[in-house]
Amino acid sequence: MKKRHEQKLIILSFGLLILFSAPIILLFNSEKEVLGFPLIHVYIFAVWLFSALTSLIILKKYDE
């Protein structure tokens, strides 16, 4: 794997560490709902989906 791809994955990991930290998650802990789902669940799923897609894009470029 190229060094720049490793660096991108490390930056993504640190970003996820911040986004999944308790103070940030608790900002979304409210009674509000999005399409019937609690806001905290929508936030956690959206961050997870974003990270999975970003990792996929980075790793696909590695294959080229």
Q: In the structure, what pLDDT confidence band is assigned to residue 64 with cuts at 50, 70 and 90?
A: low
Q: Could you tell me the sign of the dihedral formed by the alpha carbons of 10, 13, 15, 21, in that order?
A: negative
Q: Is the pTM of this model over 0.95?
A: no
pLDDT, tens digit, 9 for 90 and up, residues 5-63: 788 889 999 999 999 999 999 998 888 888 999 999 999 999 999 999 999 988 887 66
pLDDT value at residue 63:
64
Q: Which residues of 30-51 are buried (b: 16+ CB within 10 A; e: fewer)?
A: eeeeeeeeeeeeebeeebeeeb
Q: What is the CA radius of gyration of the chain?
A: 15
